[in-house]
Amino acid sequence: MKGLTHFMTGVCVATFFPLVVKAAYDPNLILLTLLIPIGGLFGYLPDFLDFKFSRYLERADYTINPGYHELDPWRVANVVAKCINEAYSSQKPINIKLETIRMPKSMWRRYSILFRLKEREVQVKIGPLISTGLEILYGSEPEEEKIAVVKYKPNLYYSYEDVTNVDIWDGPTFQFRRDGDTIHADFIQWHRRWSHSLTLGILFGLLVGLAAGFLYYMNDVMLSDVEMLTIMFIIIGGIWGHVIVDQLGWLGSNLWWPITGKRKTGMGLTRSMDAMANFVTTFILTALILWNLNRFAPTRIFPWNDLEFIVMLIVFPLSIIIAGKYLFAEKGSGEKSVRDREEMDEVSMEIAEF
């Protein structure tokens, strides 16, 4: 999901704690209301850690592209096949980065990687020019088709779409690692690992809670058990909310790092940059924030009970919006197009933001 959606997830979690909302009406506890935006910051934290730290810590064993002028697909296909074979023979993970090709006038040269799993072949094809907004310039493909097919030896397991397009901003990475007699290809292996774990949420919750207690103690103020637990659970809930929302997509997260070392595949209900999915999620989060603010206020602004509130501000408007979407939606879009760009969409947008 987009950064705003993750931020709103953390804010929403914070408003579920009555102590935080009621603090706005008590001058002695007013500072506790800062936990609402702090919850939002921790809701965004996992992606911040990935895009500001993890991707720079991951070193590529091989970095390759077809060349600016040469547009040689064999150069890429040979290196990818070599990495797969080397990962099998050395029994060590091999990282490869596929660099993008930036062209003049904010254009990029697209090339694609196709894993033919049954044939044990990797195919690289030079494609058209594409804008930063992912608009294809038709007719810009090379006059003579440039395609290369190279065989690799071991069995390859790849859980995403066979075709990966390399086009805008920062190129994708793969890690090829051996597991028994099979090579596993992990797409953008640095993303959603330790930073997107439930255990990291617990760790940060404990650290922030203890730090807050110590700072108050240094100022001769003792936080109550309820206040300490509220701080810890808002931090935990913000990070957990981020992880849970990301599980709606395809890539998933490494939920129990360091106990587990692999990402758990997501539910596949949407992709991270889907505009409607982000809108609906943010809409529900905003409605829940209003619901919490209303029910914890000394005097309710909205006269509805909880069930009426949810129906009037969530169920009824979303039913109209979703019905309209499906009524006017274009036909022919399927799971493949959704799954094909799910993670590259997120990476491209996040890199653009930073």
Structure tokens at 45: 């934290």
Q: 174, exposed or middle or buried, with CB in 10 Å at 0-12, 13-18, 19+?
A: buried
Q: Which are the contacts of 237, defined by CB distance < 8 A and separation ≥ 6?
A: 10, 13, 14, 16, 39, 201
Sequence-separated (6 or more) residues with CB below 8 Å from residue 205? 232, 233, 235, 236, 239
Q: What is the pLDDT of residues 159-182, one digit of tens each?
A: 776 789 999 888 899 999 999 999
Half-sphere exposure of 141 (CA within 13 A, CB side): 11
Q: Which residues contact 80 (CB under 8 A, 6 or more apart)?
A: 64, 96, 113, 122, 124, 150, 152, 174
Q: Full-prediction pTM beyond 0.85?
A: no
Residue 341: pLDDT over 50 = yes
Asked if 165 contacts 344 with a C-beta cutoff of 8 angstroms, the reply is: yes
Residue 148 and residue 19: Cα distance in Å, rounded? Answer: 63
Q: How confident is the model at residue 266 (pLDDT cuts 50, 70, 90)?
A: confident
Q: How far apart are CA 83 and CA 90, in angstroms?
A: 10
What is the rounded average pLDDT of the residues 189-215? 93
pLDDT bracket for residue 95 (50, 70, 90): very high
Instruction: Provide long-range contacts, Cβ within 8 A and 24+ apart, for 129-138.
Output: 129/103, 130/167, 130/168, 131/106, 131/107, 132/106, 132/108, 132/168, 132/169, 134/167, 134/168, 136/110, 137/107
Tokens read off for 97: 């980065």
pLDDT band at 278 (very low <50, low <70, confident <90, very high): confident
What percentage of residues in the chain have a pLDDT greater than 90?
A: 55
- pLDDT given for residue 265 in this prediction: 77
- For residues 276 and 289, give the distance between their C-alpha atoms in angstroms, rounded to a whole number: 20
Joined tokens for residue 235: 């931090």
Predicted pLDDT at 349? 52
d(CA 151, CA 122): 6
For residues 217 and 195, give the distance between their C-alpha atoms in angstroms, rounded to a whole number.
30
The tens digit of pLDDT for each residue in 107-134 reads 999 999 999 999 999 999 999 999 998 8
Measured CA to CA, the distance from residue 118 to residue 162 in angstroms comes to 11
Q: Which two tokens stand for residue 80?
A: 């990818």
pLDDT band, very low/low/confident/very high, at 339 (cuts 50, 70, 90): very low
> Would you place residue 336 in the very low, low, confident or very high pLDDT band (cuts 50, 70, 90)?
very low
